[in-house]
Amino acid sequence: MPKLTRIVPAILTDDPSTLESMIRQAENFTDYVQMDIMDGQFVPSRSITWEHLSHIPTKLSWEAHLMVLRPEEYLDGFHQAGARKVLFHHEATPSPREVIARARALGLGVGLAINPETAVSAILPLVDEVDSILLMSVNPGFYGSRFIPEVMDKVEELRRARPEMEIGIDGGVKEANIVQVARAGVDVIYVGSAIFLQPKPAESFHRLQTLVQES
């Protein structure tokens, strides 16, 4: 029986009060979210920090998508704040194995993300050392960026190389293309603006989930 594709809501904001509002919204329709973390260096924008997250109690389980330089410097903070998993960018560090080892030492799950211009071949030596691969289908850093369809070719390439690897895709996914993305064989689809920037986020989430299930 094929695995069902999961939708994980992605929370992105630079405002602590908006963060809490988005968390409370998400608690009404899911039990797991991704927190998008940006440093203004690896990507142009900045977002909330682990300190903000540590001050908001929630029943949600969550992972941190670290769009930051020197991700190893963020691991202790996000572990302290309650993250279950961290995803860091291959392009953000010269020593990805050190990041993986440090995260493992803290008991964190680890995912490796790559930007649209990075080839799958660049990360194949690391794939067996992480729990998942995240393929960015936009240039990271902003809600609502345009989907880059060529990234779908990477899903097929990675699936051939590692049939059992958990593959996620993040960026620009909405009602108009989510069926295409799900049929490409991804395990996880991260969705931000198509949920949280809609008038009724819970309804948007369930509508996307239905489209994926019917695909």
| Positions marked active-site | 36, 170
Neighbouring CB atoms inside 10 A of 175's CB total 13
Reported as type and span, the H/E element at residue 153 is: helix 152-161
Contacts 24+ apart (CB under 8 A), 102-111: 102/72, 102/75, 103/75, 106/75, 106/76, 106/79, 107/79, 108/75, 108/78, 108/79, 108/83, 108/84, 109/63, 109/84, 109/85, 110/85, 110/86, 111/63, 111/85, 111/86, 111/87, 111/168
Reported as type and span, the H/E element at residue 8 is: strand 6-11
Q: Quick one: tokens of 85?
A: 């998993």
